[in-house]
Amino acid sequence: MTATLRPVVPPGTTTEASWPHRAGSWWPLGVYTLLSLLLFGIPVLGHFATHVVASDPIDSSQFMWFFAWWPHAVLHGLNPFLTHAMFVPEGFNLTWSTAMPGPALALTPVTELFGASVTWNVIQLASPALGAWTMYLLCREITGRTGPSLVAGYVFGFSPYMLAHLTGGPYLALVALLPVVIRLILRRLRGTLRPRRFVIYTALALTAEFLTSSEVLATATIFGGLAYLMALALYPAQRRALLDTAARLAGAYVVMGVLISPFLYYFFFGHQYPPGATFFSADLASFAAPPSLVALGRHVFPYIGSNNESYLGLPLILLILAWLWIERRRRRTWMIVIPMAAAGLCMLGRHLLVRGKVTSIPGVWNWLHHLPILTYAIPVRLSLFVIIPAAVIVALFLSGSGSGGRGRWRWALAALTIAFIVPDAGSSNWNTVVRDPAFFSSGQYRHYLHASDNVLTVPAWGPNERWQADTGFAFNLADGYAGNPFPVAYSRYPTWGTLLSGHLTPDYAVQLKRFVHDKRVTAIVVDASVPGPWRRLFGPLGIAPLTTGGVIYYRLRG
């Protein structure tokens, strides 16, 4: 079978026995891990519990809550999918959030021993290294070359797409399993992976990706399907092998469905919280204009783009065009380029955006965003499906024929590609200090809050979730945030808007009493460092507050 599939995959590939056993497959992971530590880890090393790789404390605190919740629920015999620890008394269905149950459960020992903030940092620092490593393995499978694959791994794992989501979106940065699935498919097409093992390994990889980010898996399935259709059209002689692999891949999806069936039950039959309509699209200029996250964008060129994750850089664009021209007569070229171009067009959204100005030129998203799954997709995030093939192209470009001067110019262009995407190491985008009031950090809360308390906090979202996670869910939150629009059971109250904005309504006293009654609030804790009219807001309750441990504490009842 391997001989009949030569047109589908490039020659010169290695046939390693299985996923990866040779020492040569592992040392690049050490290299990429060291790079990740040098670029993002230095500010937080030694301060893993108080410094986090993030641009702000809001998103990171939300995910720290997730990382603490899943082990807490499982270890205490609670339903992990439906929580009543926040948004009391209604609770929240976590299957409709970016709750990352897979990584949270896998890192349970880290969370239990060191806390959720350490788990956050581990995931953030591991994401670029793992992504680079699995891309290296994929490109090594394709090209059989180590040097080109190392470069391609860096281009993917430390891409602007990755840099953007290291600021606060771990479920979008932890995408190392996508190259794994592609590699498994290639190995099955070549006949170097047995059918049963292919189904088992692929099902496990798909399940792990679903439990990390169902959004990434859903969109990857769409663009993977497009690549498959291209292969069917371009390689008629290999259709039997392609159809056989597709059937086994479908079987892997079925196995995944069985494994995640409890999650799917609550997703389809529990209370639903569809995400809001968000249509962030890529600015055409952002493909070439260095963003602030890369060193060139901050220190050399003025930032004129409007997105970080869509940036490729002029050298990479030129490299892709050069490879496209050189390899234009090969069917493999178009099987790679057409899905990548489709993702690039989708990224541009409904109307073309150029240097921050919306034009009247319609985009393909006008016709696609109504489709299932894509309804809730954010166009600019599809840059993931541009950078994956772009990294493969880098490996193929550097593995191309030619020596002497011709070989050197390829490597020179690859070196420029890396130079244009080197992150702005040490930037505050990846270094945030988390400071909790002594009320929580010193354990003082134990004298004032109890497990049955429904606590209204200020701020109403962000750090308060970290407070609850760090205390082992010692109280319930009468507020919170789970990544989607706030539940209607909360957003319909004018007081909820006041808590988020700090702006009092004319009838704030009446509205507050209604909110406190309906949410069965027993205590209020205000971070004294958060500016706002909080004493005026809570004054009508007629309760004398206690200032202690950096908070303003109100005991209502209970």
108 and 122 Cβ atoms separated by less than 8 Å: no
Rounded Cα distance, 396 and 380, in Å: 26
| Secondary structure percentages of the chain, helix, strand, coil, to 5 | 60, 5, 35
Rounded Cα distance, 524 and 146, in Å: 59
Mean pLDDT split into 10-residue runs, the chain, 558 residues:
38 44 79 96 88 92 96 96 95 94 97 95 97 97 94 97 94 97 96 95 98 95 94 93 96 98 93 67 86 79 64 96 94 94 90 80 77 77 96 95 64 96 90 93 95 96 94 96 87 95 95 96 96 95 95 89
Output the DSSP codes for 231-264.
Answer: HHHH-GGGHHHHHHHHHHHHHHHHHHHHHTHHHH
272 and 96 Cβ atoms separated by less than 8 Å: yes
- What does pTM read for this prediction? 0.92
Nearest to 414 by CA among 148, 28, 222, 137: 148
Nearest to 241 by CA among 2, 464, 12: 2
3-state class of 552 per DSSP? strand
Rounded Cα distance, 432 and 423, in Å: 17
397 and 410 Cβ atoms separated by less than 8 Å: yes
Nearest to 40 by CA among 132, 135, 156, 158: 158
Nearest to 482 by CA among 64, 57, 162, 164: 64
Rounded Cα distance, 462 and 483, in Å: 10
pLDDT of residue 234: 93
DSSP state of 285: G
3-state class of 205 per DSSP? helix
First to last CA, the chain: 72
pLDDT of residue 349: 85
Nearest to 457 by CA among 472, 442, 443, 437: 437
How distant, in Å, are the alpha carbons of 181, 372, 383, 459, 510 from that of 282? 27, 21, 9, 32, 44
Strands 454-458 and 357-362, by their bridges, are unpaired
Q: In a 10 Å sphere around its CB, with 0-12 CB exposed, 13-18 middle and 19+ buried, how is residue 555 labelled?
A: middle
pLDDT of residue 7: 38
Q: Which residues contact 442 (CB under 8 A, 6 or more apart)?
A: 549
Q: What is the CA radius of gyration of the chain?
A: 25
Strands 51-52 and 432-433, by their bridges, are antiparallel
pLDDT of residue 20: 55
3-state class of 454 per DSSP? strand
355 and 283 Cβ atoms separated by less than 8 Å: yes
Six token digits for residue 25: 């497959």
User: What stretches of 147-272 adopt beta strand conformation (E)?
Assistant: none
Furthest-apart CA atoms within the chain: distance in Å? 83
Write out 390-450 in H/E/C secondary structure: HHHHHHHHHCCCCCCHHHHHHHHHHHHHHHCCCECCCCHHHCEECCCCHHHHCCHHHHCCC
Nearest to 116 by CA among 68, 176, 47, 165: 68
pLDDT of residue 277: 52
3-state class of 451 per DSSP? coil
Write out 514-528 in H/E/C secondary structure: HHHHHCCCCEEEEEC
